[in-house]
Amino acid sequence: MLTIFGRPHSRGGFCDGVNRRDFLTVGGTLLGGCLAMPHLLAAEARAGIRSSHKAIINVYLPGGPPHLDMWDLKPDAPAEVRGEFNPIKTNVPGIEICELFPKIAAMMDKFAIIRSLVGSSGDHDAYQCMTGRPRTPANNGFWPALGSWVSKLKGPADSSVPAHVSLMYRTGEQRWGYPGDGGFLGLAHAPFRLVGGKENGMKSDNLVLKGVTLEQLNDRVGLLQGFDDINRKADTSGVMDGMDSFNRQAVDILTSSKLKDAIDLTKEKPEVLARYGVDDPAFERDGAPRMVRNFCIARRLVEAGARVVTMNFTRWDWHGSDGKNFVQARKDFPLLDRAVTALVEDLHDRGLDRDVTVIVWGEFGRTPRINKDASRDHWPQLSCALMAGGGMKTGQVIGSSNRLAERAATRPVTHPEIFATMYANLGIDLNPIREFDANGRPQYPVEPEIKPIRELV
């Protein structure tokens, strides 16, 4: 992934206050045949740019949101199962959700709920929501994220905006901040990270050139040309000549205003921005901050040209001795309700509802039985997902759970099926796609026998 955020240093560096390591990160991004950005652009060019711009916004809720308290309430279950919240009717007859999601309830016709998601690895980890597969010793750091496959297969929609963009904060529980990577598709398709961790909050890891002026960047481009001259003399295949255009595009991304404008919310209409609510930049323990306006930034990024945007939102692991399952739910459910509906409303208002797929989910569900601390423990046997847009058939529930929401009673849905659905929404035909890993073995975005969710597409 590309990182050019650096801190000024008083010693051991160049006269502009950037040390050698930062220089290699900032300037080295532009250095010919060995680092990421030119390779990214070359790979994207080989993939080709399609005329249509479909996109995914993947909203990850770190820690495992409680499916029984959100999308699959059981009001007739015993008190130790049903919890403290009541279901409310939605604008789709027969569908009820938690009373703390009134805005989603009022526009349920624009959403689809999957109540029968099975196959969670049970790990506190974003990996499965980013890749569609559980993390194993064999595929750890090996399997490409959804955005990496899309970057490889579709290329950029705009040459100055990366196809694969991450708003995933680095979290105290590191796996909750995992944005996916390029895996065997290579670093060229890893996500372009736009936010960091507690040390720099909302400041972009990639777009804030601390201590580096545009003039200094241009000087380093000149240095690049010097390296290119050396390499070109040794090159008899003409490859270096072809790299010139990709290096120029790399500089375009670093110096273009388009990506910076997308994350600059001062350029958004105040009345639109107000619908999302107000950010809370404080990190929630070892989770992410409550940055509700990142939902707006995600929409702005896909409008600018991003194809896959991932983000994490607050912390949903509420089963400790503090007994905060229902306390935290009363705080965070309304924030999610407001932010998600504002995003989906914006997509519809802009005519993007058929082009942009939104998914909201976590790594697993929560135990039906409330524990001694008035909370719910980990429950990988069943979880839920909320989806919208993408031209899908919304206003419905896919699958059902049994009486106590312990397991799928009908239509179990797996992570690979959801990923196949998202690829279909992007207009990607998976049938002919095959890539080879470092060992020469053929690999597929999802296994060939996996099909999109028929009820949605």
Q: What is the pLDDT of residues 102-124, one digit of tens each?
A: 999 999 999 999 999 999 999 99
Do residues 42 and 156 touch, judged by C-beta distance below 8 A?
no
Based on its alpha-carbon atoms, the radius of gyration of the chain, rounded to whole angstroms, reads: 23
pLDDT of residue 230 exceeding 90, the answer is no
What pairing do the DSSP bridges indicate for beta strands 111-118 and 396-398?
Answer: parallel
**Which residue's entry shows tokens 């945007």?**
309
Query: What contacts 449, CB < 8 A, 6 or more positions away?
Result: none
Alpha-carbon 205 to chain mean position = 16
- The answer as to CATH 3.40.720.10 being correct for domain 52-205+262-443 is yes
Please report the pLDDT score of residue 203 as a whole number: 55
Least confident interval from 38-52, 379-393, 401-415: 38-52
| Residue 20: both structure tokens together | 């050698």
Selection from 47, 52, 90 nearest residue 71 by Cα = 90
H/E stretch holding 251 reads helix 239-255
Average per-residue pLDDT in the chain?
A: 84
Please report the pLDDT score of residue 431 as a whole number: 87
pLDDT band at 49 (very low <50, low <70, confident <90, very high): very low
What pairing do the DSSP bridges indicate for beta strands 96-98 and 378-379?
Answer: unpaired
pLDDT tens string 364-389: 999 999 999 999 999 999 999 999 99
pLDDT (mean) for 77-95: 97
* Range among 35-44, 91-100, 318-327 with highest mean pLDDT value: 91-100
pLDDT (mean) for 131-138: 94
pLDDT of residue 443 exceeding 90, the answer is yes
Question: Which is more confident, 288 or 7?
Answer: 288
pLDDT (mean) for 189-204: 80
